[in-house]
Amino acid sequence: MWIVNTRFSCLCTLHPDYSFVPRWQPPFITALAAEDRCHLNGLSLVDGRPKYVTALAETDMANGWRAEKAHGGCLMELSSGEVISRGLSMPHSPRWHDGRLWLLESGTGQLVLVDPASGLRQIVAELPGFARGLACCGPYAFVGLSKIRKTSAMDGVPLAERREQLKCGVAVVDLRTGQVIGFLEFQTAVEEIFDVQLLLGQRYPEVIGFQQETIQHTFIVPRGLPGC
């Protein structure tokens, strides 16, 4: 299991005797320290192996990424340590899907396609929220969108200029056309989405709150089973 350890600016694995075992750091990081130096945040696997990562800045000082968040983000390739693409606004959620590399430029609310060889970027879709959390299935991408609180670290990026128009929810984008073909919006209570995952093959998922005793007396019967 590979873990993005944002606070220590590294990729790590677990160990029964330690909190974690550091396995990889960006070349510009010079020490293993709990200082969130570059805000390493996203990992993409290719054929089951770690291949690409995103960070909010190429900085080597404690919380240095905060001053660079508007346009200091980067996409890196692990084996070489090289930066593939620079100048990103808070990049998140790199994903290898259908033989191509996708990511979210959260600070602009864009779904982006990146050429790993040249670093050239193509905007696939413009979305009405801080994009964070990307899951792909076939020709579709499911993107988590958040609003921007005035006190959040997201403030100061280009998307913040449209703060009042932003929405929170999950958008479905057709990767072939860039069109948003579906949108689930949270109109109250929820204002931020941190990740999106697909539950493939599930027809009747349900979310149960654990702050009350609901879990103790809730019984879920999946739809479509014989006799149901």
Pairs from 202-211 (Cβ < 8 Å, separation ≥ 24)? none
Range in 11-15, 54-58, 165-169, 215-219 with the lowest mean pLDDT: 215-219
Q: Residue 156: what pLDDT?
A: 81
Instruction: Give the pLDDT mean for 157-169.
Output: 91
In the prediction, which pLDDT does 175 show? 97
Q: What is the mean pLDDT of the chain?
A: 90
SS3 label, residue 64: helix
Q: Residue 226 domain-assigned?
A: no
Phi, psi of 213 (to 5 degrees): -90, 15
Q: With cut-offs at 50, 70 and 90, classify the pLDDT of residue 63.
A: very high
- Give the count of alpha carbons within 13 A of 68, CB side only: 21
Per the domain annotation, does 106 fall within a domain? Answer: yes
For residue 102, what are the domain limits?
3-217
The better pLDDT of the pair 225, 100 is held by 100
Asked if the model's pLDDT at residue 65 lies above 80, the reply is yes
Flag whether 222 is in a domain. Answer: no
Our count of domains for the chain comes to 1
Determine, yes or no, domain membership for 223: no
Q: Domain holding 60: CATH number? A: 2.40.10.500
Model pTM? 0.86
